Amino acid sequence: LSNVIVNEVDSPEPRRRSDGERSHAAILEEAAQLATVIGIDGLSIARLAEAVGMSKSGLFAHFGSKEELQIATIKAASRTFTQRVIDPTRVAPTGLDRLRGLAENFLRYLESTYPGGCFFASVAAELDTRPGPVRDLALRINAAWLGGLERAIHDAQAEGDIDPAEDPEQLAFELNSFLLLANQQFVVSRTGEPLDRARRAIDRRLSR
């Protein structure tokens, strides 16, 4: 999964960043925060300029168009997702540990990262009926996430921790269902209850 997402965002090796790049990253972080509240379609250069206190022409120097800004914001959110949700599972000793780690990291990420919960759930719900390159990129990242869950399930089956008769796609669908409803209810309720419901559902589903 992480390979797919990393390729998706052309992430280079970590290196020292110049001031210009730091500022670019800070602008995109603000853009991602804003997109989960007002929607990615509401994310115009004018609106972002107001939020970060820069001139519109200053922002145009960073992003030539609204669409470029949206694509850059999605790529930045993808890097954040990889760092918070996927990277910590690289050291998991088994497929089942990785699967549980992905789910738990997702629940923590949605609680602590954006005001509108999971960035990609928010963008996917908004753009589902609006074809175009921004939607396509968001959908590819969602598909990569599901693919990562499926690979962890495959590995857990090979290791004898999940019944080999399970269909990995079906199981990934069910686990992802719990995570996404938890996200939706968390954004509205701002309580940990839906996150705990998802944890119980996942525990039950994997403990058989």
Nearest to a second copy of 63, 148 (CB atom): 148
Is residue 139 a contact residue for a second copy (CB under 8 A)? yes
Is residue 181 a contact residue for a second copy (CB under 8 A)? yes
Nearest to a second copy of 101, 116 (CB atom): 116
Block residue for tokens 């495959």: 154
Nearest to a second copy of 31, 54 (CB atom): 31
Q: Which residues lie below 8 Å from residue 13, measured CB to CB, with a gap of 6+?
A: none
Is residue 33 a contact residue for a second copy (CB under 8 A)? no
> Which H helix or E strand runs over 67?
helix 66-81
Contact between residue 137 and residue 69 where contact means Cβ atoms under 8 Å apart? no
Q: Site for a second copy (CB under 8 A): how many residues? A: 31
Is residue 129 a contact residue for a second copy (CB under 8 A)? yes
Taken as a whole, the chain contains a residue count of: 208
Residue 176 to residue 108: CA distance in whole angstroms: 15
Is residue 176 a contact residue for a second copy (CB under 8 A)? yes
Residue 120 to residue 30: CA distance in whole angstroms: 15
| Stretch of 1-9, 46-54, 149-157, 196-204 lying at the interface with a second copy (CB under 8 A) | 196-204
| Stretch of 80-88, 91-99, 151-159, 195-203 lying at the interface with a second copy (CB under 8 A) | 195-203
Is residue 51 a contact residue for a second copy (CB under 8 A)? no
Query: Residue 102: how many CA atoms within 13 Å on its side-chain side?
Result: 25
Contact between residue 143 and residue 169 where contact means Cβ atoms under 8 Å apart? no
Helices 19-38 and 66-81, interaxial angle, to 10°? 90
Is residue 117 a contact residue for a second copy (CB under 8 A)? yes
Q: Which residues bind a second copy (CB under 8 A)?
A: 36-37, 39, 115-117, 121-122, 124-126, 128-130, 139, 169-170, 173-174, 176-178, 180-181, 184, 187-188, 194, 197, 200-201
